[in-house]
Amino acid sequence: MSFLSRPLDLFRRIAIAEAITWALLLTGMFLKYVTHTTELGVKVFGMIHGVVFISYVVTTVTVWVDQKWTLRRGIGALLASIPPFVTIVVELLAVRRGWIGASWRLRTSADAGLSRPESLVRWVLVAPVRGLAVALVAVVVLTGVALLVGPPASS
């Protein structure tokens, strides 16, 4: 689980995966709506993109709390997941501007004096296996909710 050892590594991987799944979904949409050859790409890549999108949101919130991002930066990073490929831009900005430190701040901090979100993120970070399990459960639950709500209505 070395990719969990540094917040930048995790954020980078998820941001890139989110952009790749956008490309796959756009390819599926092209096949469905332009060439009218198959809907399979939208069904398969739509589900994959949805899961990776939710993973990006969970990762971004975790990094936001741990790295003490401002409200504007955190909301901006979350909104970056909506248009295709913008998560790559946010990741590049994060590197260039030093938004993400070399280590998880809350993994080594004392529990006293932390806000509730910081305490929760610390609880997840101090035990990587537990953290991964919590993240997976969050992604599964949020994906289930999204499936229950259904796709956006088409006009």
**Has residue 153 been placed in a domain?**
no
pLDDT(44) > 80: yes
pLDDT(151) > 90: no
102-131 pLDDT per residue, tens: 899 998 888 788 999 999 999 999 988 888
Question: Distances from the Cα of 148 to the Cαs of 13, 92, 143, 151, in angstroms?
Answer: 28, 34, 9, 9
Q: Which structural domain, as residue segments, surrounds residue 131?
A: 2-147
**Has residue 124 been placed in a domain?**
yes
> pTM for the whole thing?
0.89
Dihedral of the alpha carbons of 15, 19, 24, 25, in degrees to the nearest 10? 100
**Has residue 66 been placed in a domain?**
yes
Which residues have a Cβ under 8 Å from the Cβ of 105 and sit 6 or more positions away? 66, 67, 68
**Has residue 152 been placed in a domain?**
no
49-97 pLDDT per residue, tens: 999 999 999 999 999 999 999 999 999 999 999 999 999 999 999 999 9
pLDDT(4) > 90: no
**Has residue 32 been placed in a domain?**
yes
**Has residue 26 been placed in a domain?**
yes
Number of domains making up the chain: 1
Return the pLDDT at 17.
97
pLDDT(154) > 80: no
In angstroms, the CA 96 to CA 99 distance is: 8
**pLDDT class of 155 with cuts at 50, 70, 90:** very low
**Has residue 28 been placed in a domain?**
yes
**pLDDT class of 2 with cuts at 50, 70, 90:** low
- Give the burial class of 118: count Cβ atoms within 10 A of its Cβ; 0-12 exposed, 13-18 middle, 19 or more buried: middle
